[in-house]
Structure 1
Amino acid sequence: MDLHLKGKKVLVTGGSKGIGRGIAEAFIREGAEVGVIARGTEGLNNLKEELTGIYAIQADVSNETEREEAFKAFIKNFGTIDILVNNAGGSSGGKTMETPVSSFREAMELNYFSALHLSQLAAAEMKKHKSGAVINISSIFGRESGGKPSYNNAKAAMISLTKSMADEVIQDGIRVNGIAPGSILHPTGNWQKRLEENPEKINRFVEEQIPAGRFGTVEEVADTAVFLASERASWIVGATLNVDGGQSRSNF
């Protein structure tokens, strides 16, 4: 299926490894021109060596000034933006009563405010040519309990942002949607570490908690992202799609 993404200017945050890198690679395969933002210079250097033509920007998107400068660098290099993928994220802390408020703030800056701010910047550019797509990578735990509360709270806010912003900017030809991955296995992720540390426990988790009977893959999330960014998904607006092999317990 030709998704008509050739030549599209795509920015992916947290794009040097894991799901973000998989999404960047998927857009490149579709013929798009891709820039990525990431904090780690080592990961970005590896990315540039392994993916021909990638435009790498070193920045911490939890910092407002750095993300503004990173976005300006992308626009200077590409001239415009057609697709933004807000993938940067992470978690810290533990149970709510054991986690300081500062950790909740940090989680919101990294997972939510970075996506909000970059979406505002991107939408302002997209309005100029009356088209564009924003994709927010959240989590099934943005809809239900599980995992670390600081992360879940931020991802819940991201899902809410996806809907509210989508309703505002669709009149300008801009579609905002999201993806809520379940448990995804990849070499640099937490599930890989847990699997190596205690394979019996993790295999039991998969058997009991994921109806499909396996972890998801980066490619399965990336395939969803390129579809949502394409005109093939033209009537999908404000949705956050679970990509989880049935893991989520939510029925809406």
Structure 2
Amino acid sequence: MNLNLKGKKVLITGGSRGIGKGIASAFVEEGAKVGIAARDSSELLQTKDELGTQIYQKDLSNYDNREKLIEEFTNQFNGIDILVNNMGASHGNLVINTPPSKFSEALELNFVAAVHLSQLAARHMMDRGSGVIINIASIYGKEAGGAPSYNASKAALISFTKSFSSEAIKDNVRVVGIAPGAVYHPNKVWKRRLELDPDFLDNYASKRIPGGRLGTPGEIGNVAVFLASEKASWIVGTTVTVDGGQSRMNF
């Protein structure tokens, strides 16, 4: 399928590893012009070498850094066509043991940063009369399962996706989302679990995922490029679940 994304200007936050890197790779394969933002300089440089992306080392929990990122990207690329809000982290564990400050941290990075970047990017898109914003949420924004602070922030992001989509579509800017289930990539969390139990992934998948395995970053990337394309022109405000059947929602 020709998605007609060649030459599109795409900014992906949290794009140096895992799901973000998988999304960046999918856009590069489609011929898009891709920039990625993240905090870790070594991971950014490695991804640049592998994919040929532009890189921006930014801590996006900081308000000023978000403004600088959009300014730098739009100046370098002469605009922005697609924004993928993928940055995020999990904070705390049980509600009773998680200080309110950890909820604030989760909301700032997983939700407020995405809202702010969406506002900044949308102004450019609206001026040009087109654009797509994709918010990477989680199935745990739709149902219980992860750390409560993470769940709350992703639920807020899903709600924001719907709310903002109703405004932005009037200027031909589509706001949509993706809710991944468990996706394997060799980060610290998965590595620690495998060190404790080499069969962890197989056991996790057999118990929780009808598809029988964890997802891959590339599978999330495939959905992202479709949603960013004109093939998905009538998908507005929806957060698409991509999880191999893991979630237990009826809707």
Fold similarity call, TM over 0.5: yes
Structure 1 unaligned blocks of 5 or more: none
* 1:218 counterpart = 2:217: yes
Kindly indicate whether the alpha-carbon contact (under 8 Å) linking 1:184 and 1:191 is maintained by their aligned counterparts in 2: no
What does 1:151-190 correspond to in 2, within 5 Å? Answer: 151-188=150-187, 190=189
TM (norm. structure 2) is 0.97
Cα distance in 2, alignment partners of residues 32 and 81 from structure 1: 11
SS, match of residue 199 in structure 1: coil
Give the fraction of aligned pairs with identical amino acids, expressed as a percent: 55
SS in 1 for 2:10: strand
Report the counterpart of residue 60 of structure 1 in structure 2.
59
Structure 2 partner of 1:44: 44
Partner of 2:73: 74
**CA shift in 2, pair 1:174/1:78, >3 Å:** same
Q: TM-score, normalised by structure 1?
A: 0.97
Match status 1:29 vs 2:29: yes
- Structure 1 letter corresponding to 2:8: K
Q: Distance in 1 between matches of 2:177 and 2:191?
A: 24
Distance 1:21 1:182 in 2: 16
Q: Deviations over 1:146-169 (max 9, x none)?
A: 110011100000000000000111
How far residue 128 of structure 1 moved from its aligned partner, in angstroms, is: 1.2
2-structure distance, mates of 1:79, 1:225: 22
> Residue in 2 aligned with 1:116?
115
1:201 to partner: Cα distance: 4.2
Q: How far did 1:47 drift?
A: 1.7
Equivalent residue letter for 1:242: T
- Which letter maps to 2:176? N
Q: Distance in 1 between matches of 2:199 and 2:159?
A: 37
Q: Secondary structure at the match of 1:214?
A: coil
- Pairs aligned (count): 251
Quick check: 2:201–2:214 contact (8 Å CA) kept in 1? no
Matched, 1:103 2:102: yes
The answer to whether the 8 Å contact 1:138/1:155 transfers is yes
Shift of 1:18: 0.7
Q: Secondary structure at the match of 1:251?
A: coil
